[in-house]
């Protein structure tokens, strides 16, 4: 019972993590940014971006923790 609940939480956190990563704004211009002036290279993150970063890191911690716990076989 516990393993199935944790497996569902793990799968949902993985899907949520994918969505959170896709919500992030792009940080660079790619290869076209090599010739640019670079004035926007060190801009600070807005409040929404900072909150999105914290939620993404928390979701990543949950995903990786559950992946380790479920794959190690510590629960039976």
User: pLDDT (tens digit, 9 = 90+) per residue, 20-49?
Assistant: 999 988 877 666 666 655 555 555 668 888
How many independent structural domains does the chain possess?
1
What is the spatial distance between Cα 36 and Cα 29, in angstroms, rounded to a whole number?
9
What is the value of pTM for the model shown?
Answer: 0.75
Q: Is residue 38 part of a domain?
A: no
What is the spatial distance between Cα 14 and Cα 23, in angstroms, rounded to a whole number?
14
Q: Is residue 53 part of a domain?
A: yes
Q: Is residue 29 part of a domain?
A: no
Q: Is residue 56 part of a domain?
A: yes
Percent of all residues in the chain with a pLDDT value above 70, rounded to a whole number? 76
The Cα angle at residue 45 between residues 40 and 50, in degrees rounded to 5: 160
60 confidence band (pLDDT: 50, 70, 90) = very high
Domain of 53, in residue numbers: 1-23+47-76
Q: Is residue 40 part of a domain?
A: no
């Amino acid at each position: 019972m516990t393993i199935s609940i944790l497996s569902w939480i793990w799968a949902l956190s993985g899907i949520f993590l994918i969505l959170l990563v896709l919500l992030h704004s792009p940080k660079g211009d790619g290869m076209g940014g090599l010739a640019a002036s670079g004035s926007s290279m060190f801009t600070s993150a807005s409040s929404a971006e900072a909150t999105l970063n914290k939620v993404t890191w928390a979701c990543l911690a949950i995903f990786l923790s559950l992946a380790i716990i479920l794959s190690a076989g510590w629960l039976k």
